[in-house]
Amino acid sequence: MKIQIQPMGAYQTNCYIVTIDGKDLIVDPGIGATEWVVSHTTNPVAILNTHGHFDHVWSNAELKKRLDVPIYCPEGDVFMLEKDPFSQGTPPSHADVAVAPDETVVIEGIGMKFLHFPGHTPGTSAIEIGDTWFCGDFLFRGSIGRVDFPYSDPEAMKNSLRKALEYSRNVTLYPGHGPSSTLKAEKRVIPYWLEAI
């Protein structure tokens, strides 16, 4: 697995290109991501959204048009792609596949699981590919996603954090903002956040 990372826009939202067996998966194409993605992919097969916030999905529609690939989004956040609920002027896009909570999908022979960790948004998911989570705004290095936005749910976030604590394998975390981490490292600070929420 080859992973390319480029922070996008004012919020420095990490856009990822994940290449497996010569096939490129685009994760969270945010504001201004199109040209970087187009110039760094050779065989794009899908756009994957960890959740529906504008800074993670801004370039969905433009990239879909340029690359002719499907968009996969957690079903709980599909409405955010279409309705621009934060009135940010987000170009509307449509999820070709609304992924159910904890569903495993196979794209061009590549298996992945959308592990459902609601709280930051209703559909927030960590996309598990091998020993790696592309975890959006669920977990960051030393921190967690905010739960004070519209459609956020602090109690759901607590349940998601408990679910992460119970996850038995250690995985590498590639978050929506900031540097990578590991689930083992974040398990040391999750109890703090459970008390702080």
Which residues, other chains included, contact 171 with Cβ-Cβ below 8 Å and sequence gap of 6+? 128, 131, 132, 133, 182, 183
Question: Hey, where are the domains in the chain?
Answer: 2-196
Query: Can you give the pLDDT at residue 86?
Result: 86
Whole-prediction pTM:
0.97
User: In this predicted model, what pLDDT tens digit does every residue of 8-57 receive, in sequence order?
Assistant: 999 999 999 999 999 999 999 999 999 999 999 999 999 999 999 999 99
Reply yes or no on domain 2-196 having CATH 3.30.710.10. Answer: no
d(CA 101, CA 154): 18
Question: What is the percentage of the chain residues whose pLDDT exceeds 70?
Answer: 100
Rg (CA), the chain: 15
Given the DSSP bridges, would you call strands 139-140 and 143-144 parallel, antiparallel or unpaired? Answer: antiparallel
